[in-house]
Chain A
């Protein structure tokens, strides 16, 4: 009899949801962060704006986490 693969696949789905979204957020933040630091070197008052722009993609991970929790929850 084939082993029941439900649990491993659910776990894999959840981990992909958070892992890939974290990767995407990191990738986006890398570019924004570089540009923000560059702008700050020219004009230091831009720290506040730079910080905000840098953290905007972070929400992607939060969405990933919510989706991961939902996957785990729906699968029981």
Chain B
């Protein structure tokens, strides 16, 4: 519980002929965190299995089919079905690919035709408003034409007249756009183009409609009819595509998962060490399962493998798997959020499990709010199973809130219910100073707990003397500061000198243990402890807001009549907002007290997660 799962380094050596069988067995066992082999002179990196490339090719093909059928494989539901051989999958994929591709091509073809016809229609519209027909544009030796849009046609005719009198200009405006068609003599082209440029001329390419017979109006109608037919054909094609997609999604999704898994097996030898005759696999296995793995491997490989454990090397990183009981497991969420512990550190999950809900509850501390959040988070947990761990933590926290609510005698901010005062040990709204002292006292206890865990960690690594100087010196410093304070306030007959001497000894020990950096951190620890005053501050804000809401509502109720409705609305909205703040605030602050004030006393972190071969991440 206080330690992560012990791991053993396992080495598996065998003849190359067994590499495939061994890999498959290891994949099935789902227990070994395989380490990448580093190439050396004697032992090279293994080659992927022969089928690796065909599996990869098949995967690409399968994903290609899914893409052309617009299937999102990541979101497709996966059902366990019959396993097929690679050949069967390939055969099925080939049939499906030709179906999918032809449907896809037909669809694309129709889409392209629709775009073309729509463009033609637009051009015909432009001609129609210019009172021209496609037949008007004929190849001519001396006469040229330009057709397009301009920003404005003001003074255009006059400007052209000043250059030549032999021209024909049609202008028309539609939808805030001005179209022109200009027929002119070839010799004047340069000057005319310059004038048009001043009017921001943008030419239209009328090539697609050249040679069409009939008036623009008739042609538009004809094009519209063709567009309609094309649209129908396109709809039919996309319907067929949808049908194909619906029918084949389960197959594609299932085979994709299977192929990904097969590819993983086929490419695994890249992590192994290989000689011409043998292979070697190194990896981490939880110590408690080593015997199982050895037995299972030997049984299936008929004792043809050499399996042994290797001792841990200095400075080696061991993958981290937590070893917490089920009730504490959800709190590992906070460790993943921060950083995983190192292999040889105390795993603080259990301490978070103990103190996180308590600190949360101390801040929210209201029976009514606790009950509301409890019901809310229970519903959320059922609705969103993927965030189960997170909501479990909050359910623990809700129970703590109810507990502290009972201690403080608060129900939705009110300290009395139906005229009876709720029994309480401490009134948060009235005994402010006492609340502050309790909060700081909790801080002292929590920080001390952190220091003691730190002491234990140091003891394991550097022996008693260093651990004592580096960690327990903090306790002496705190005690010294405490003595001095108590003497100053005349609570004890001991002279202040005793406090100062204790403080001095503490600082001296710390300097020996941690050097000057430790001394620099001394003011920090008092800041850390004082930081727990937030337990009081946030709780007070929560009570304050609740009391204000209740007072407002009470005023409304006294006025009677319609105002009763207003009172109810005030109560509901006010308390809802306060509950929302009461979840966010205490959650973040409780987390912060753990990460910043508590963890800094002992926690280093930086572990890498345990990822057994065969388990999908």
Give the complex CA separation of A47 and B527 in angstroms: 24
B159 contacts partner chain A, Cβ-Cβ < 8 Å: no
Contact B432 A69 (CB under 8 A): yes
B559 contacts partner chain A, Cβ-Cβ < 8 Å: no
B488 contacts partner chain A, Cβ-Cβ < 8 Å: no
Give the complex CA separation of A69 and B534 in angstroms: 13
The count of A-to-B residue pairs whose CB atoms sit within 8 angstroms is 43
0/1 string, B537-552, CB within 8 A of A gives 1 = 1000000000000000
CB-CB under 8 A for A48 and B337, given A65-B537, A66-B530: yes
Give the complex CA separation of A52 and B527 in angstroms: 15
CB distance from A50 to the nearest CB of B (A): 11
Which among A8-16, A30-38, A53-61 touches the partner chain? A53-61
Contact B534 A62 (CB under 8 A): yes
Contact B592 A58 (CB under 8 A): yes
Closest to B597 in A: A59
Closest to B440 in A: A66
Contact B436 A69 (CB under 8 A): yes
Give the complex CA separation of A48 and B352 in angstroms: 15
A27 contacts partner chain B, Cβ-Cβ < 8 Å: no
Closest to A18 in B: B537
0/1 string, B562-600, CB within 8 A of A gives 1 = 000000000000000000000000001001100110000
Give the complex CA separation of A58 and B51 in angstroms: 58
Give the complex CA separation of A29 and B553 in angstroms: 36
Contacts of A69 in B (CB 8 A): 432-433, 436
Contact B537 A63 (CB under 8 A): no
Contact B596 A47 (CB under 8 A): no
Contact A66 B436 (CB under 8 A): yes
B101 contacts partner chain A, Cβ-Cβ < 8 Å: no
Task: Tell me the chain B residues, 586-616 only, with Cβ under 8 Å from chain A.
Answer: 588, 591-592, 595-596
Closest to A73 in B: B433
B531 contacts partner chain A, Cβ-Cβ < 8 Å: yes
CB distance from B428 to the nearest CB of A (A): 14
Contacts of A47 in B (CB 8 A): 337
Closest to A56 in B: B596
Closest to B436 in A: A69
Contact B530 A48 (CB under 8 A): no
Contact A62 B533 (CB under 8 A): yes
Task: Give the number of chain A interface residues (Cβ < 8 Å).
Answer: 16
0/1 string, B337-355, CB within 8 A of A gives 1 = 1110000000000000000
CB distance from A49 to the nearest CB of B (A): 8
Contact B533 A55 (CB under 8 A): no
Contact A55 B592 (CB under 8 A): yes
Contacts of B533 in A (CB 8 A): 62, 65-66
CB distance from A53 to the nearest CB of B (A): 9
Contact A62 B531 (CB under 8 A): yes
A51 contacts partner chain B, Cβ-Cβ < 8 Å: yes
Residue among A52, A56, A61 with max Cβ neighbours from chain B (10 Å): A52
CB distance from A46 to the nearest CB of B (A): 10
From A48, A55, A61, A62, contact of B339 by CB (8 A)? A48
Residue among A47, A51, A59, A65 with max Cβ neighbours from chain B (10 Å): A59
Give the complex CA separation of A69 and B440 in angstroms: 14
Contacts of B534 in A (CB 8 A): 58-59, 62
Give the complex CA separation of A69 and B432 in angstroms: 9
Contact B592 A62 (CB under 8 A): no
CB distance from B190 to the nearest CB of A (A): 55
CB distance from B556 to the nearest CB of A (A): 29
Contacts of B527 in A (CB 8 A): 59, 63
Give the complex CA separation of A62 and B539 in angstroms: 13
CB distance from A40 to the nearest CB of B (A): 12
Contact B588 A55 (CB under 8 A): yes
Contact B530 A62 (CB under 8 A): yes
0/1 string, A17-31, CB within 8 A of B gives 1 = 000000000000000
Contacts of A61 in B (CB 8 A): 537
- Other than the known A55-B596, A62-B533, what 9 A-B pairs have Cβ atoms closer than 8 Å? A51-B592, A52-B592, A58-B534, A59-B527, A59-B530, A59-B534, A61-B537, A66-B530, A69-B432
Jot down 6 A-B pairs with beta carbons below 8 A, ordered by A: A47-B337, A51-B592, A65-B537, A66-B436, A66-B530, A73-B433
List residues of chain B with CB under 8 Å of any chain A CB: 337-339, 432-433, 436, 527, 530-531, 533-534, 537, 588, 591-592, 595-596
The 8 closest A-B pairs by CB, nearest first: A48-B338, A48-B337, A55-B592, A59-B531, A52-B595, A62-B534, A62-B533, A65-B537
